[in-house]
C-alpha cells in the first residue's frame, strides 16, 4: 500500500510504502520558513546568559531532529523516553552548540 499524507500546513509530507516485506514511512519537510524565522529571532534578541531561565534558544524541525538522532544511533522512540535533562543535554551537545546547525538557533551564546 502506498500513500502520501501532508501535515496541516503542508510543510511536512509522510510517504507510506512497502520495501520488500517491510512497511516504510519516509518523512520530508521544508525547513526554510523555520530557518528564516530563526534568523529574525537571532538578530533581534540579547545574548543568552546562564541566569536567563526559560530562554528560547532554538527551533529544530522534527525531520531534522530525526536525522540527527539517527546519525547518533538513537531512534525517536528512545529519545522521547529519555529524561528531560538528558534530552536537553543531547540537544545542547549535538545541535544547539554545534556550528553545523547554527541556523536552528534563535539566540546567540553558548548553552
pLDDT, greater one: 7 or 43: 43
pTM of the full structure:
0.59
Q: How many CB atoms lie within 10 A of CB 2?
A: 7
The average pLDDT across 62-70 equals 84
Whole-number percent of the chain with pLDDT over 90: 5
User: Is the distance from CB of 107 to CB of 100 less than 8 angstroms?
Assistant: no
Helix (H) or strand (E) holding 29: strand 22-29
Q: Which residues, at least 6 apart from 90, have a Cβ–Cβ distance to it below 8 Å?
A: 72, 74, 79, 82
Amino acid at each position: 500500500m502506498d500513500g502520501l499524507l501532508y501535515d496541516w500546513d503542508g510543510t511536512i509530507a509522510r510517504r507510506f510504502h512497502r520495501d520488500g516485506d517491510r512497511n516504510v514511512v519516509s518523512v520530508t519537510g521544508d525547513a526554510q520558513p523555520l530557518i528564516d524565522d530563526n534568523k529574525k529571532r537571532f538578530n533581534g534578541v540579547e545574548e543568552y546568559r546562564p541566569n536567563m531561565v526559560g530562554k528560547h534558544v532554538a527551533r529544530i524541525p522534527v525531520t531534522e531532529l530525526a536525522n540527527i538522532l539517527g546519525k547518533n544511533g538513537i531512534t525517536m522512540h528512545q529519545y522521547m523516553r529519555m529524561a528531560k535533562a538528558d534530552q536537553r543535554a543531547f540537544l545542547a551537545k549535538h545541535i544547539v552548540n554545534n556550528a553545523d546547525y547554527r541556523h536552528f538557533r534563535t539566540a546567540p551564546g553558548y548553552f
